[in-house]
Amino acid sequence: MNTTEIKGNWKQIKGNLKQKYATLTDDDLLMAEGKEEETLGKIQEKLGKTKEEFHRILADI
């Protein structure tokens, strides 16, 4: 799943991430225009996943 697909489906992805990972807050999931990669990196870091693991999580959602 690339950044464009993630941006297009962000509301659905955000809801699924919140259900699956209760440690994520609304602030963690706030995606600012032009800072998509930074936001995804912060979420990945907070979950303690590698980039590949995190991208698999997103693809499964």
Q: What are phi and psi of 2, to 5 degrees?
A: -95, 175
C-alpha Rg value of the chain to the nearest Å: 10
Find out whether 10 and 31 touch, Cβ atoms under 8 Å.
yes
Find out whether 16 and 23 touch, Cβ atoms under 8 Å.
no
**Consecutive 10-residue runs of the chain (61 residues): their mean pLDDT?**
87 95 94 90 96 93 86
Return the pLDDT at 3: 83
Q: Quick check: pTM over 0.85?
A: no
d(C-alpha 18, C-alpha 25), whole Å: 7
Return the pLDDT at 11: 93
